[in-house]
Chain A
């Protein structure tokens, strides 16, 4: 269905090709997962399928890409629109119309399908992706998860034979991600759709893949094979695979279900042992003789937006040195809670105090000294033309000696070129730069909104390490995230929000194991034993 023959792609001005002599054949009806670090050429590979690379992006393509027998050299993307559907990384940026139903019909209108056919397909797609209730809603008012499903639906309605998706679940909460992936597998099984999908969160998708393509980057040859084979040799793997390696299971399990069926002996070995106790924060819970006051205290917080109550009486205390994960579905109020804690939105009722002083009513500059927030798009925090200038500005903003931010950045993300433009950095590097900028102010409370979006595994591991280091140094950290594996790995406490209210608050181990939606893979495999991460299990087996 998709065939790459000796394909090399070089962008203008680049010294070396992004992809070199790629040979790849994806047969019809296959769900093919594309792996690789950020900047490895994954998106280039995906873009080449419908000819956006190089017709739209520029660059030089040698070799031949054919889709359903059509050469992308002679067919620009618009002529391939009836064969290839594309869902980009940020679905909202690709919306052409303003209402859900029109958006679903847009692609079909361009192809000139008959009105009766369009009507039927729109209805089918609304059902398939669960969009019936929002069919007449303006696109702007939808949550990220809904927008993602609309974008997938809009790519599906022209009935393409190939669907290309770039990180389709990165903005979704775990249940919404499962819904989207379940819909995709149904299409692959029932309609023989060929799917090419790039995703960093392997643990969500690898079990659905028929084949994995690993793009190692730097023009090295692709590794193609069945998921178990490619992952056996991969440096970074989802937790369930890591657990399989640890326990020596062959072939490696890819899904929680596979692993559970094998887990009997491992569970027997683990019964009677208990996971090492995580270093609980100093102070709080009356375990230390002189309990210190919490770093941040939120009392009865109510935040209202026109039409909705984003937060309805939230109480939360954060102790020094603790890492609190705030979880909940899209639109549950996570981002609003963080914004309120840094004084960005005015509470309708309730108080937020940090280090004993109330946040609301104080000047932004003063609050920024005590509380650092890394927003969902870390790039928003960065204005300067170079990394070095950005660090210099950060020192001045925070009135710290010159070089503070630079040395922080050296520790957080070594090897970032000081002369590069912040926009040219990879997602992970940009996050580290934003973090360095925020930490230059030496805040007592660090807030991160969805920090792992777009991060590959190494960048995520680096982030986890950094956060643990900060907590050990006494900084309180609150992160709003959909990433259950990150929460399981670093968070000492987990708070679950639903419809603006706290529905669960307690030690991460208790909260995440109690809820299937937020449980990490290891907890699902070993349930009802309270193990969260592969590292915990490994330590217990070794000790």
Chain B
């Protein structure tokens, strides 16, 4: 019967649900790290394909799900710009001349800058490889945006940062509301036969829109206040002081640790150990601070096996390329001068293909409800 594999009594059932947004971000950052270690166009193209395939397989109908395409288009603009600039300013790289841009003689003070001249295949290839890497980085951010709801990402912030998170949410909702207000006011101006463009139009537009935004924020603040935003649980003074002390000391230690790490003249003890200790103290402060607010979470995103697999696949992809780069595997940065056909090194290839795993490992999504 064809029922085999479709009906497994007692077996695990994969219910459609939204994956933890942090898992998607870790996966995407992993792919981005992988991309940053190579200029091989084959590997980069493969990374684009991997990210695109996973987005196509696991995105929802939510408004933000279109951001992969948006970021990809942005990347292509960047790539085109990079090639154009290379052709205009970067002439003079020796090699096979493809075309000659008429050279503009520049005055003496602009020595070192060339405008126009022969454009070589080598120079263009180097620019294209570099630009392609930027495209992949942007595409990875776009993929994370398309797959993970920004609102839910903010919701998974630790309790102590919650209020900052709400501020960001409110700020994010301001933009679409301002756009709506601008549309409304512009329409009203047209109704009175007033200009909607130019300086006069802008002034007439800005005042009502700002007044609108101000009134809206006062209304929102009142609503949030009456809905219990900023309630304090009965926290003893001593604990409050401990929290503040821990957070402050932790942040100071993180700063000096970073300084120690970056400045080679300081004793090595001031570097990593202080950074690690500072991070630990700051985290402890944040956790303690989280107890300050009596909040609870509605349907928090669980972290299950699927999340680990998704995040792990991205991190493994990154690890494969970092290790390969460290080991000096040939083909990660193919030579552009002389121009040679890039090869496909095995270890990085395997790593990149691991990034495809979420297309099956992530739970399926259903319709617009996938966002919730």
Contact = CB atoms under 8 A, between A and B. Distances in A.
Interface of A: 50, 52, 55-56, 76-82, 84, 86, 88, 90, 93-99, 101-102, 105-115, 118-119, 122, 135-138, 140, 154-155, 158, 339, 342, 344, 364-366, 368-369, 372-373, 375, 377, 380-381, 383, 394, 397-398, 423, 437-438, 441
Contacts of A136: 368-372
B187 A339 contact: yes
B4 interface: no
Interface in B25-71: 62-63
A380 B222 contact: no
Interface in B227-251: 227-231, 233
Contact of B229 (A78, A102, A369, A381): A78
A381 B204 CA distance: 11
Given A138-B63, A375-B187, A96 B224 contact: yes
A438 B191 CA distance: 9
Contacts of A441: 193
A159 to B, nearest CB: 13
Given A78-B229, A98-B169, A381-B191, A93 B204 contact: no
Contacts of B369: 135-136
A127 B219 CA distance: 28
Nearest to A155: B227
Contacts of A365: 193
Given A158-B227, A394-B192, 19 more contacts: A56-B225, A76-B225, A78-B225, A81-B227, A86-B226, A86-B227, A88-B222, A95-B173, A96-B170, A101-B298, A102-B155, A110-B295, A112-B294, A115-B299, A136-B368, A158-B228, A344-B187, A375-B184, A380-B187
Interface residue tally on B, bucketed by range: 35 or more
A368 B226 contact: no
B192 A381 contact: yes
A94 B219 contact: yes
B4 to A, nearest CB: 34
Given A86-B226, A97-B169, A115 B296 contact: yes
A523 B36 CA distance: 74
B225 A52 contact: yes
Contact of B216 (A81, A93, A373): A93
B188 A381 contact: yes
B314 to A, nearest CB: 26
Contacts of A380: 184-185, 187-188, 208
Contact of B228 (A78, A90, A101, A369): A78
A140 B193 contact: no
Interface string B278-312: 00000000000000011111111000000000000
Contact of A99 (B208, B224, B225, B371): B371
Nearest to B227: A107
B298 A105 contact: yes
B190 A79 contact: no
A344 B227 contact: no
Given A136-B372, A140-B176, A110 B169 contact: no
B202 interface: no
B223 interface: yes
A424 to B, nearest CB: 12
B244 to A, nearest CB: 22
A350 B353 CA distance: 54
B194 interface: yes
B151 interface: yes
B198 to A, nearest CB: 14
A423 B215 CA distance: 11
B294 to A, nearest CB: 4
Given A86-B223, A375-B184, A368 B229 contact: no
Contact of A77 (B185, B225, B370): B225
Contacts of A84: 226
B63 to A, nearest CB: 6
A379 to B, nearest CB: 8
A135 B372 CA distance: 8
Nearest to A372: B191
Contacts of B192: 368, 381, 394, 397, 437
Nearest to A393: B192
Nearest to B293: A112
Contacts of B190: 344, 364, 368
Contacts of B368: 136-137
Contacts of B296: 108-109, 112-115, 118
A65 to B, nearest CB: 14
B157 interface: no
A53 to B, nearest CB: 10
B227 A106 contact: yes
Interface in B98-153: 151
A76 to B, nearest CB: 7
9 contacts: A80-B226, A99-B151, A110-B295, A112-B294, A118-B298, A372-B191, A373-B191, A383-B207, A437-B192
Contacts of A82: 228
Nearest to A96: B224
B81 interface: no
A17 B123 CA distance: 78
Contacts of B229: 78, 96, 110
Contact of A115 (B211, B222, B300): B300
Given A52-B225, A107-B228, A110-B229, A377 B184 contact: yes
A217 B187 CA distance: 36
Interface in B147-197: 151, 155, 166, 169-170, 173, 176, 184-185, 187-188, 190-194, 196
B277 interface: no
Interface in B336-372: 368-372
A77 B226 contact: yes
A119 B299 contact: yes
B166 A96 contact: yes
Contacts of A368: 190-193
Q: Which of A99, A105, A364, A437 has the most CB of B within 10 A?
A: A364
A242 to B, nearest CB: 35
A78 B215 CA distance: 20
A397 B228 contact: no
A89 B169 CA distance: 22
B173 A98 contact: yes
Q: Which 8 A-B residue pairs are closest in the complex by CB-CB distance?
A: A94-B223, A81-B228, A110-B228, A105-B298, A365-B193, A112-B294, A93-B219, A380-B188
A118 B296 CA distance: 9
A102 B298 contact: yes
A107 B226 CA distance: 9
Contacts of A107: 227-228
A9 B368 CA distance: 48
B84 interface: no
B220 interface: yes
A93 B173 CA distance: 11
A252 B368 CA distance: 51
A94 B220 contact: yes
